[in-house]
Structure 1
């Protein structure tokens, strides 16, 4: 770990001064007496005074990161391992008199749902920018690995995102944060402590403890609107009717989802299975998605019904809706209505 002695001394004096002058400061910072003592020791004795105990105290009493959120989360179910990617926003701790110009961020985290760790991910080291107290960086495509024994847990987590209006879970772990620290004059420029012209230093704080709840809008409220006919045929021998059309799939969630090839059962007003919808390589971005779908109607009356009036159908997921085993359990809960207007046969 790289630790700037000048920076630690600055922190010690700044925190001590502010804690005495501002009784209303959050308990988390005021109670960090162990951390303040470590800062003072480092100033007097040098960097070797930053012991493992000091690092532990800094992790628990003085976390640099406070909360986080996914700005444009994408879940990809088409690969052997479920992957995610997103821009990430992290709220940093407010440090009196000290700015945190974070330049790099990395970490190892767990997804905790219902108090149980169900999956883990690694955020590789990446460049970061800070505006105010908000740190932003991009989490590239990263595998979300299921923790052994939590296969049902991760499936339930995905299912909740799919069928509920929102879901809150926790992301927790340890981060490595690299901060560029300029030379800092203390208390009006006490040059015997830190020269105003002191060169910049780099502090890499490792294993910074982090835990934050995250709430995402789910897919509930998902709707499909039939847009236009492309092809409409009936096989005279089998009696199978095939309709190819465009439809708007509206995804109200905060999650982009790459689902791969999908298929859904089509039920009539009596709840009877009358056909199957196939959509290849389905990618549901947040908001509206115009896709091409093919519905194969197996009931012999479908052609006449479709060409004489408008028809309302219930579309449901089932165990083979997608190939991904984790997502398949969640997709069983998918259910939406779709109305097909009267078809004009060519």
Structure 2
């Protein structure tokens, strides 16, 4: 008996393969194509010659845990214990998987807000639990009435993604007030807050659950050095939660990966002595504006992008095709790979929208825009 018989190959794998097969410009998968900071490569080269190659402690490299605690204090004014309230993980995906495995029991329900990233549902199904997928509104704001209607004593967890992939939407103060109100009668409900793009926001500042007094003691917050430091291939993330929650996730983590790459952790720890996290939003703010300016003469309708390095666009004035067929034609006929948004919905909602990744160098973005300009 197969556990995941209906699980297809990820759309990110499909589109990246198509981009390679057709020599298309790949704006689909979310990773930067520009070099990492030379200061980081120098740190890695130097540390690689030291005695740093054996297992790191299960919970993480202690100096890096201290750095994360300081970052959390500096940005969110939350004091966390580095030895008991932080866990270094093999990317944010492992943090999400381990958290769901640690707390979700068979027959539990877990709320996912669609469109949603594809790594949320699988660990729920592997727990023999039930994913409850609730669509966001068309402007990607949360439908708190629908969420409230689906809450019950069976609801074990609510998964949030803020800043939101794929839409680039960020939560407001009012959003959190509404959330706090509707879950106050469900004390056993946990929040899994995916905040991997927390340092990539633009006009408005990211509001983290780290700052919410009514929520943080029942929340597990996931962050990503891969996203923040442009090191997606290193797969280094971390989890922040109260000690009683982190303790349970560690039980899964120790048998899933045990510990995370020691050289990578030590290198990130040292790099944070010279790198200022505020630089990240400035970089991507410039790239967002540059890319939006390039696309303003195209037939695409650009939706607001408040955070992340993704730009969502509507093609409803271009074609009546479904979004999967349209994105495939973009690759084969125009040489640009993107992601259709219907794949982020449990019911494959098709709003005639696609997602571009603008975490690319200016030359690649300009070449892609030239090809997109001819689409009518």
Q: Please classify the TM superposition score into its range, dividing by the shorter chain length.
A: under 0.3
Higher helix share: 2
Higher strand share: 1
TM-score between both structures, scaled by the size of structure 2: 0.19
**Between Structure 1 and Structure 2, whose CA radius of gyration is higher?**
1
